[in-house]
Amino acid sequence: MNTIPSRFTGQTIIVTGAGSGIGHATTTRLHAEGAHVVAVDVVQHRLEQLADVLGERIRCVVGDLADDATVRAALDAADGQVHGLANVAGIMDGFEPTAEITDETWDRVLAVNLTAVMRMTRAVLPGMIAHGGGAIVNVSSEAGLRASAAGTPYTASKHALNGLTRSTAFFYTAQGIRCNAIAPGPVATNIEAPFRSTWAQERMGPLFQVTVPPIARADEQAAAIAWLLSDDASNVSGAILPVDGGWNAI
Ligand SMILES: NC(=O)c1ccc[n+]([C@@H]2O[C@H](COP(=O)([O-])OP(=O)(O)OC[C@H]3O[C@@H](n4cnc5c(N)ncnc54)[C@H](O)[C@@H]3O)[C@@H](O)[C@H]2O)c1
Summarised one tens digit per residue, pLDDT across range 113-166 is 999 999 999 999 999 999 999 999 999 999 999 999 999 999 999 999 999 999
Residue 7 resides in a domain: no
Residue 97 resides in a domain: yes
Q: Convert the pLDDT of each residue in 166-179 to its tens digit.
A: 999 999 999 999 99
| 24 Cα: distance to centroid of ligand 1 (angstroms) | 10
Residue 3 resides in a domain: no
Identify the band that residue 219 occupies on the pLDDT scale cut at 50, 70 and 90: very high
With a 6 Å cutoff on the Cβ, whether 60 touches ligand 1 is no
Residue 248 resides in a domain: no
Q: What is the chain written as a DSSP string?
A: ----TTTTTT-EEEEETTTSHHHHHHHHHHHHTT-EEEEEES-HHHHHHHHHHH-SSEEEEES-TTSHHHHHHHHHHH-S---EEEE----------GGG--HHHHHHHHIIIIIHHHHHHHHHHHHHHHTT-EEEEEE--GGGT-SSSS-HHHHHHHHHHHHHHHHHHHHHGGGTEEEEEEEE--B-SS-------HHHHHHHHHHHHH--PPPBPHHHHHHHHHHHHSGGGTT--S-EEEESTTGGG-
Q: 26: domain range?
A: 12-243
| Ligand 1 closest atom vs CA 23 | 16
| Ligand 1 closest atom vs CA 111 | 31
Residue 6 resides in a domain: no
Residue 76 resides in a domain: yes
Domain with residue 71: its CATH number is 3.40.50.720
Could you give the number of structural domains in the chain? 1
Asked if residue 3 has pLDDT above 80, the reply is: no
With a 6 Å cutoff on the Cβ, whether 169 touches ligand 1 is no
Residue 152 resides in a domain: yes
Residue 4 resides in a domain: no
